Amino acid sequence: MVEIMIVVGIIALLCAMVIPNYVRARANAQASACINNLRQIDSAVHQFALESGKRTGDVVAYPNDITPYLKLNSTGQIPSCPAGGVYTLNAIGTIPSAVCSLGSSVNPPHLQQ
């Protein structure tokens, strides 16, 4: 019985070390994917603005205006934030053009640099 308790204790100790690292790695991966999506959306906004003759301060309709300029996911939709954030677009000429609703409220932040 003591041997089983020792094994259970060792497994619990290993879990205590591994789970926080897993959670941190998952959060980093979600932030990286979100930032990559924001960069792609930002590029699509710039390309749309160039081809449509838009000027600084003009508004872009999300997602209709930029959908042709993005690679869509397997369901035919614009990729979304993996952490559940919502993307919005700023006026043309604003840096950044696309922002995630999670922004700096999560760690690591979902912000373009």
pLDDT tens digits along 94-106: 888 899 999 999 9
pLDDT at 113 over 80: no
Two tokens, residue 34: 């979100």
Q: Each residue of 29-76: pLDDT tens digit?
A: 999 999 999 999 999 999 999 999 999 999 999 889 999 999 998 888
Contact 95, 38 (CB under 8 A): no
Domain boundaries, the chain: 2-100
> Cα–Cα distance between 7 and 97 in angstroms, integer?
54
Q: Give residue 41's pLDDT.
A: 94
The values of phi and psi at residue 100, to 5°, are -100, 140
CB 73 within 8 A of CB 79: yes
H or E stretch covering 106: none
